[in-house]
Structure 1
Amino acid sequence: MTVALMWEARAAEGRGAELLAWARAQELPARPLRRETFRGPEDRVLVITWWDALYDADLPELPEPGRELTSRAVHRWRFESVAED
């Protein structure tokens, strides 16, 4: 099964580039199948990692950045891959 972990944060005013750099520099203790980093409106940063694991497996996730970099708590979601028709 493939599990995707999504991590999304919104930067504090004027700190979008710093938050993006911070997220890209974070090392995980295990290597995912794939990892992508995105940026969006309102200085949002999104990181998606894909894992070959069960849905409820204990998987490494990016931590919370320092409060000075964000305008709110990080949002996290977990999804499982489904078969295509």
Structure 2
Amino acid sequence: MTVVALMWEARAVQDRGAELLEWARAQQLGREPLRRETFRASGDRVLVITWWEAADMAADLPELPEPAADLITRPVHRWRFESLGG
């Protein structure tokens, strides 16, 4: 088994960053990750990182969906990383 980190990043329409943050925090995943953290940044951006135990990087894992199109300025960016330990 390996630990896979899924990163989800979206940019809200100007001055709607708090709304996007609230939306992201309210999203339920199909199951509980090992860990989940939510961040915000300048430019009304929100980042969510979830950590999962998986067979490999290509494993089918629950991901946050796309928010409503009128809440974001562009499609969500998504990345997968494999943990290499501390």
- TM-score range, shorter-chain basis? over 0.9
Q: If the length of structure 1 is used for normalisation, what is the TM-score?
A: 0.95
Q: Which residue of 1 aligns with 2:8?
A: 7
Query: Aligned-pair distance for 1:14?
Result: 1.2
- Which residue of 73, 76, 79 corresponds with 1:77? 79
Q: Which residue of 1 aligns with 2:63?
A: 61
**Root mean square deviation, CA, Å:** 0.8
Within 2, Cα distance between the matches of 1:35 and 1:81? 15
Q: Percent identity?
A: 69
Within 1, Cα distance between the matches of 2:60 and 2:85? 23
Within 1, Cα distance between the matches of 2:80 and 2:23? 22
Q: Which residue of 1 aligns with 2:28?
A: 27
Query: Aligned-pair distance for 1:13?
Result: 1.2
Query: Aligned-pair distance for 1:82?
Result: 1.2
Query: Aligned-pair distance for 1:5?
Result: 0.1
Deviation >6 Å, runs of 4+: none
Amino acid corresponding to residue 56 of structure 1 in structure 2:
A
Within 2, Cα distance between the matches of 1:69 and 1:14? 10
Q: If the length of structure 2 is used for normalisation, what is the TM-score?
A: 0.94
Unaligned runs of 5+ in 1: none
Within 2, Cα distance between the matches of 1:77 and 1:61? 11
Unaligned runs of 5+ in 2: none
